[in-house]
Amino acid sequence: MTRFIAPLLFLLSLTVTAQAPMVPTDYFDDPLQVPLALAGTFGELRSNHFHSGLDIKTQQREGLPVYASAEGYVSRINVAHYGYGKALYIQHPNGYTTVYAHLKNFSPEIEAYIKKLQYQNESYEVEVYPNASELPVERGELVASSGNTGGSGGPHLHFEIRDGEQRPMNPFMFGIEIEDTRAPIVSGVYAYPKGENAHVNGSAQRQKLRLIPQQDGSFKAEAIEACGEIGFGINTVDQLNAAPNRNGVYRIETGANGETLFQANFERFSFSETRHLNQLIDYGYYTQNNSRIQKLFVEPSNPLSIYREVNNQGFLNVKDSLSYNYTIKVSDFAGNERIVNIPIEGKHRNDIIEDPSNTTEFFVPANTGAQFESNGIDVYIPKNSLYQDAYLDISFEDEKINLHEDVIPLHTNISIGFDVSKYKPEDREQMFIAQLNKWGNPSYSTTTKDGERFTTRTRSFGTYTLARDTQAPRVVPVNFKDGQWISGNKDIKVKISDDLSGISSYRATVNGKFILMEYEYKQNLLTHDFSDNVITETKNQLKIEVIDNVGNTTIFESTFFRK
Ligand SMILES: [Zn+2]
């Protein structure tokens, strides 16, 4: 009888002990005034990071009014080509900061403030920290309109709530409510035997378990035989009622026979740890299958702060001839749960085929790092850029290095150097270090040139080679022609693109005077808005200089008339 009720008790006790940080629950309002629908939730697993806020849907369009979530003052404005695009930060008197990103533009007052700075700095990209008296805002005051700027895959508002140390927190904890009656979805569960003689169904390798759906919505895995330290992993997402997007879950707990093994909560993290997501997931599985298995065990090299109660690093120690029921409970913020039960029979085996330990001559101890060199190419892997000791597969070819495969996560940059002494200085100018993707296509890897040596820093393994870009960028007018009257235009637009190394910088003038052009990299578009009121003459000589990453320059010139 005891055995039977124990799993239930464990689930109950965890629900009671999971303490959320104390936060105000009626302080922050939804910053949009449309029915709340989300494309992304807090803690969602993204490429090299956890999602730090809510992605609020904006009805597939730009330009929805964005309102201050609470009173405060604009404490930071950042305009960037990539990342958050146009972003606004509001500091609130209770110590929290709210963030509004991928904006189309700001309210007229803030827009004027930032335009002034952009013309002063002669740059679209600017960042500024106004003081408390410059741009105060009331709760519900219009501060911006929603957009799709920066690294945004479609119109939406990215909204964050950060604590006093600028750590993003789960906005749901602050009482922002959304309908959610759907339980998290579990699409895969895996077992990971760890250490000598550990096995699952006779194998020392990761095993996918077969899940059998139960009447009550839970899953029961096909019983496994195992022995030794066994960890588990899960593919899981949450869905909300208002949209079909696959979002992040709120909490994952595991236990066996009444003992808690593991609990992770997506409530708060710091930006300095967000890249350690690659330690939460099975990184090699992800890069090869484009699917994220979250590990339900915590390796010693994993410093993430999302874990609460963790015993034996989350591993279950399976002993010969004992029975276990391992349970996974996945919850969303609304409290909907999905439970997976995994029956395990402990069975010792002597015939376990261990992982074939792939040794190579390129061994990297994680805590000391290593350096290798051949064929005029060198690679430097600093200490602690790897999470675990590894034997790397490296081959040095002519002007090309195959540096393992992108199946091991790198936490910090490694550097790769190429000897280019055999090239004349003028030939070196158009050369750069490229990373080749799996189809062999080169992409620019930021290259530092120091005489006869090129270096690049990177956080992914793969193939790197020398490449050459001989083509200057292309500049093509979109909504005007040379010599044309364009009094009716509200803006001028040109497309800029580069065939290989990519756009490095651009600068536009009219009659010798700087004009602001906004760069939207996703559309290769540069736009000047005439409402800036800096173009006042009838005859206008437009000049746009565009430079690629190796210094090839295009100067586009055109005349237009306005009155
Ligand atoms: Zn977002």
Q: How far is the CA of 272 from the centre of ligand 1 (A)?
A: 17
DSSP 264: E
- Banded model confidence at residue 111, pLDDT cuts 50, 70, 90: very high
Q: Are 75 and 175 in contact, with CB atoms under 8 Å apart?
A: no
Q: How far is the CA of 51 from the centre of ligand 1 (A)?
A: 6
At 313, give phi and psi (nearest 5°): 55, 20
Provide Rg for the chain, Cα atoms: 28
Q: How far is the CA of 299 from the centre of ligand 1 (A)?
A: 28
Q: Are 226 and 200 in contact, with CB atoms under 8 Å apart?
A: yes
Question: 225-260 burial by CB neighbour count: b if 16+ within 10 A, else e?
Answer: ebbbbbbbbbbbbbbbeeeebebbbbbbbbbbbbeb
Q: Summarize the confidence of residues 288-317 as an average pLDDT.
A: 95
Q: How far is the CA of 147 from the centre of ligand 1 (A)?
A: 12
| Cα distances (angstroms) measured from residue 449 to each of 375, 431, 462 | 19, 10, 21
Per-residue tokens: 429:
């100018």
pLDDT at 1 over 90: no
Per-residue tokens: 146:
């929603």
Q: How far is the CA of 41 from the centre of ligand 1 (A)?
A: 8
Q: Summarize the confidence of residues 43-70 as an average pLDDT.
A: 97
pLDDT at 510 over 70: yes
What is the rounded distance in angstroms from the CA atom of residue 347 to the CA atom of residue 225?
6
Q: How far is the CA of 12 from the centre of ligand 1 (A)?
A: 33
Q: How far is the CA of 494 from the centre of ligand 1 (A)?
A: 28
Q: How far is the CA of 357 from the centre of ligand 1 (A)?
A: 40
What is the rounded distance in angstroms from the CA atom of residue 307 to the CA atom of residue 276?
13
Q: How far is the CA of 489 from the centre of ligand 1 (A)?
A: 33
pLDDT at 14 over 80: no
Q: How far is the CA of 49 from the centre of ligand 1 (A)?
A: 11
Q: How far is the CA of 366 from the centre of ligand 1 (A)?
A: 33
Model confidence pLDDT, tens digit, residues 242-283: 999 999 999 999 999 989 999 999 999 999 999 999 999 999
Q: How far is the CA of 157 from the centre of ligand 1 (A)?
A: 7
pLDDT at 401 over 50: yes
Model confidence pLDDT, tens digit, residues 70-101: 999 999 999 999 999 999 999 999 999 999 99
Tell me the whole-structure pTM to 2 decimals.
0.92
Residue 355: the pLDDT is 66
- Banded model confidence at residue 438, pLDDT cuts 50, 70, 90: confident
Residue 15: the pLDDT is 38
Q: 3-state SS of the chain: helix, strand, coil percent to 5?
A: 10, 45, 45
Q: How far is the CA of 54 from the centre of ligand 1 (A)?
A: 6
